[in-house]
Amino acid sequence: MNRFKLTLQELATIIAGSIVSGNSESVFTNIESLEKAHSSDVSFLGNLKYQQDFEKTQAGCVIVPKGVSAPQGSEVSLIEVENPSVSLAVLTEYIQNLDAPVLRGVSEQAFIDDSVVFDAEEVFIDSGARVMANVTIGKGSRIDSGVVIYPGVKIGENCHVQANVVIREKSQIGDRCIIQPNAVIGSDGYGYEFIEGAHKKVPQIGIVVLGDDVEIGSNTSIDRARFGETVIRKGSKIDNLVQIAHNVNIGEHCLVVSQSGVAGSSSLGNYTTIAGQSGVVGHTKVGDQIVVMARSVVTKDISEKGYYSGFPAKKRMEENRYQAQLKKVPDLLKRIKALEAELRALELNK
């Protein structure tokens, strides 16, 4: 975490909180967990299951939810907020921006086609980046070292394309998008036809469209459409090591967590979450405000909002009942074998 120097009052102002206890002029220089914090550190109580850590903490300042008091005998400073976790995010973003350099200009070691449209005084393109023909890059965007941008790509304003990302032909990237290292946007969709004893590649001539404020994690692949568009709509966040197949349509403000996959021509509604190591089979529709829990597989359309789990994914309570019944199977088998043995004994004694 970046070091800083902020008073208790400054901290409260930044996160729009109220000082409950402590000297408003006390100075803090770091953020740390409740367990590891010292007197110059700021921490937070984001979940009451960490109450014991809070009662023992040596932190100088703790951001707490409303109604929480300092442990008896403690001199810890408290700042009261609605949601400590959100407030900590506000604080860390503020601190991160304190020393963040404003990078502008184009490295002489970047390879940029003459047809690329950009303002050299309003973007940053690092050494080793390659930008091909007819690309457009918006103001405030940053292209890091090793990035390869294929012809016809459009990148909006204030985007950050991090090291070694590949963006394939004609992909469209909205404003304020973040694409983390080694991600691939617009790789070929996985399409083959079995002809005369061999798998023949089907051309993939569509594109990928990312809406505003989309984030793509490292080593994630977003396939371009067979034709038309693979779409990830505004505000959605895709984790590391995720596969989004061709012609997938992901709604607004969705979360797709690490090691998950969404197969071809499937769709997610708005505010839907696909938790870690989960999958959505091809040509399947998942509606709005649905949570597919970790290690689950959606095999048919889901429209009713709520939590789903299992393989195949079903409503959480239904899956819980199924799992509870499944645990009884070994005992039931023993009972059946015992009854069979008794039945055989009765038949022999007739």
**Per-residue model confidence (pLDDT) at position 2:** 58
In the chain, the amino acid numbered 38 is H
Q: Provide mean pLDDT across the span 225-247.
A: 97
**Per-residue model confidence (pLDDT) at position 101:** 72
For domain 6-98, give the CATH superfamily.
MurE/MurF, N-terminal domain (3.40.1390.10)
Does the structure show a pLDDT above 60 at 209?
yes
Q: How confident is the model at residue 99 (pLDDT cuts 50, 70, 90)?
A: confident
Rounded distance between C-alpha atoms, residue 96 and residue 72, angstroms = 34
Q: Provide mean pLDDT across the span 160-166.
A: 98
| Half-sphere exposure for 127 (CA within 13 Å, toward CB) | 2
Q: 105-318 in CATH: which number?
A: 2.160.10.10
Does the structure show a pLDDT above 90 at 326?
no
**Per-residue model confidence (pLDDT) at position 320:** 83
Closest to 245 (Cα-Cα) out of 187, 287, 182: 187
Is 246 labeled as catalytic in the residue annotation?
yes
Tens digit of pLDDT for each residue in 16-67?
999 999 999 999 999 999 999 999 999 999 988 999 999 999 999 999 999 8
Q: Provide mean pLDDT across the span 219-244.
A: 98
Per-residue b or e along 201-227, where b marks 16 or more CB atoms closer than 10 Å to that residue's CB: eeebebbbbbbbbbbbbbebbbbbbbe
The tokens describing 275, both together, are 């938790």
What residue segments make up the domains of the chain, in order of their start? 6-98, 105-318, 319-350
Does the structure show a pLDDT above 70 at 157?
yes
**Per-residue model confidence (pLDDT) at position 279:** 97
State how beta strands 297-298 and 279-280 pair: parallel
Tens digit of pLDDT for each residue in 193-207?
999 999 999 999 999
**Per-residue model confidence (pLDDT) at position 243:** 98
Give the active site residue among 160, 246, 253, 283. 246
Whether 298 contacts 304, CB under 8 Å: no
Does the structure show a pLDDT above 70 at 254?
yes
